[in-house]
Structure 1
Amino acid sequence: MIPKLGRSLANNEIEEITKMIQAENQYFEEQRLNLIQELSCLIHEKELLKERVKKAEEQLQNGLDLKNKISTQLYESYISSVEKSAFTIKNVEESINDLKMLIESKSLELSRLKDSIRKMKEEFLGIAGRYENILEREEAD
């Protein structure tokens, strides 16, 4: 009766650890997917901003042709807008690079966690195996 109870407890413990591992894996996978989605949005925003800058540069060229017809103040305001767009693109690119580094870091962290969990599971299975051997010897006696 006691050996069966011990095996049952060991099996229950293995199931609990397996469920915990699965829950942690799911959490990290969700985090990774969220980061990828954020990165995708930032890349899309960068592309939109590049289009805006391209259009602004085209308009700037047209504005240069009209420079003598417009006031200096309006012209400077237009240049400022283009510079702000370029600055925004630079910031978005930096954010994208930061997110890429964060994704790499989280992926590495996830790999390390998986390795750690795998080692713990192997250790636990080793202990469970030794316990089962002890129970079998006790039954044999």
Structure 2
Amino acid sequence: MRFGGGIRADSLSSTNPTRLGENAGPCSDDCPEKILRLLPPTNNEYALNWRRRCLARLRRRARRVEDGMRIRLPQPLTFSDDHVGAEFVVVKRGARITFRGENGFGHYHIRNFRDLPWIVVPQTKVHATIFAKPPAPAMTA
């Protein structure tokens, strides 16, 4: 079965056996790391910029997310229950990640969370102060 005509999207037709390279204008920056490792060295500024964008995205996606972590997004998000917020607490259940509002209520899903430029909000933890017991007085006889 044949669809359409002319040059195929992957440019491997019998009439035009050329391959598109990274100099031809890849716009999407979601190239897997395995593929990036296979690419030969280049001096092309466009290709180098694309590789930088791909590596930056891979670094963002590799950030560690822990249960109870407090994160802040650059812009507030509005949810279907009219909650508007930019600061959330991470709730992990296995591989599933949801978020509670900073007030501790609600369970929210943030689409493409790992691709967003969020930051970790440092939390001040107050520890109990433990004083050593004074030595017992010496017994005199």
Instruction: Quickly name the TM-score band, shorter chain normalised.
Output: under 0.3
More strand by share: 2
Task: Give me the TM-score of the superposition, normalised by structure 2.
Answer: 0.20
TM-score (norm 1): 0.20
Indicate the structure with greater helix content.
Answer: 1
Q: Which structure's CA Rg is the greater one?
A: 1
